[in-house]
Amino acid sequence: MKHGKKYVDAAKLVDRTKFYDTTEALDTVIKTATAKFDETVELHVKLGVDSRHADQQVRGAVVLPNGTGKKVRVLAICKGENEKLAQEAGADYVGAEDMTQKIQQENWMDFDVLITTPDCMGLVGRLGRILGPRGLMPNPKAGTVTPDIARAIKEAKAGKIEYRLDKTNIIHCPIGKVSFGTEKLAENLDTLMGAIVKAKPAAAKGQYIKSCAVTATMGPSVRINPTKFGV
């Protein structure tokens, strides 16, 4: 893959032979972010598990203390009293059958998170083939299927993110924007890594955190020493 001049110049600032500590890694990522927009900073963590086995899945959600810097559009699928609670909590769209039909018939996807209550999972379940491939299917482990819909909406708006393994046993998550600065990004990174470490499956053997790196949207990746996280 051929990179542009800005990327090549930024890559020269990264020593690919070394592991950085968290602060130094984030400082470097900020220096290498040269795009004209406020780039997102992502954390990529490779785990020593096998996602093909159900007892080695790693998935959950965590509220980042400084948010993600992104405006999160929330769709709440619920009925009765919960509709009013969802609206008061700040959901962007609220409904039940009308919303599921809109998704099915119009392929409408103008939302980032779908939150629902257990009594509406029958409705939402019909959307599995549409929502699943996009990573939008609600899940109790991620807190997006819950009887306390107001709390879930407020957390999503405050910067709650879901982490999950991909097929190559890597977790990819945003931890904020370059404009946050090193300190706020480090707080978010430590919070997310703490959740991932806590979610270590009992069936996982050997080194759990295989590798860890941070990168800005248009920049090179910077490696963090995985032993720093103690697993």
Residue spans of the domains in the chain: they are: 5-67+160-229, 74-158
Query: SS3 for 10?
Result: helix
pLDDT band at 2, cuts 50/70/90?
low
Neighbours of 126 (CB within 10 A): 14
Which residue intervals of 71-220 are DSSP H helices? 81-89, 97-106, 121-125, 128-131, 149-158, 182-198
pLDDT band at 30, cuts 50/70/90?
very high
Q: For the segment 155-209, what is each residue's pLDDT rounded down to a tens digit?
A: 999 989 989 999 999 999 999 999 999 999 999 999 999 999 999 999 988 899 9
Which class is domain 74-158?
alpha beta
Q: pTM for the whole thing? A: 0.82
Domain 5-67+160-229 has CATH 3.40.50.10440: no
Q: For the segment 48-95, what is each residue's pLDDT rounded down to a tens digit?
A: 999 889 899 998 889 999 999 989 999 999 999 999 999 999 999 999
Tell me what the pLDDT averaged over the chain comes to: 92
Is 5-67+160-229's fold the same as 74-158's? no
Evaluate whether 26 touches 224 at the Cβ level (below 8 Å): no
